[in-house]
Amino acid sequence: MSEKSLAGAVALVTGASSGIGAATARHLAREGAAVALVARRRDRLDQVVTDIAGLGGHAVAVTADITEPERAYEAVQATLERFGRLDVLVNNAGIMLLGSALQTTVEDWDRMVSLNVAALLHVTHAAVPYLIDAASTSPRQVADLVNVGSTAGRVARPGSSGYTLTKFGLTGFTESLRQELLGEGVRVSVVEPGTVDTELVDHLGDAVRDAARRQVGGIEALRADDIAEAIGYIVTRDRRVAVNEMLVRAGEQTW
């Protein structure tokens, strides 16, 4: 028997061009999975593919704007065409745009809903039939769907109302989907990271970005690999074990 827990499995990771998504793709490849990397930045995806090849793994870059239902469907189909199945889906793509309701724009709220919610729904809807099929045909007898949420899906704070809306919604969606797929052999989980050292704050305006960095300035942030390891733990459990929710805060984080 292979020493790699995901040998023969295929994973699709969204938002895989950097940060948690890229780290998760590398981690799953180390566990033996072939990985489809989905994002919009082709050059960054190609670098992660190269990294995985250097580990002895197999990966394909799929450039797609998954906020469009057709592109999300095509991304899943590209994964199937390349690797023949889909055992693990990690919905990681997301954006955080902070600001009070008075100061922010409707466009910022729409961008977050489009990527944090609609894109997740598009990919999930396209992938679920193949995850169910994988659960019935895999030697592991299980498939996994992991949504990457946030502590903002548990604790509401001022200046993040739109972002908090998307993450509370993600948590509720995950739990409902978990119950729907219980009998199909598909485990559904949510991982809720706290403060992580990624590019997430780079999308903010200068003043808001500086304020966000000051807020966490005294905290040693989590690394993307910390969250990748959490996701890896969830999807490599024996089928009798379902880790439905995992909250991973930085050690000094209070919220």
Residue 214 to residues 35, 78, 202, 218, 251, Cα–Cα distance (Å):
36, 42, 14, 8, 17
C-alpha closest to that of 15 among 152, 110, 148, 195: 148
Residue 233 among the catalytic residues: no
Contacts of residue 232, defined as CB under 8 A and 6 or more positions apart, other chains included, come to 24, 27, 28, 31
> Active site residue: 73, 130, 163, 233, which one?
163
What are residue 156's phi and psi, to 5 degrees?
A: -85, 140
Three-state SS at 183: helix
Q: Do the beta carbons of residue 218 and residue 250 sit within 8 Å?
A: no
Catalytic residues: 163
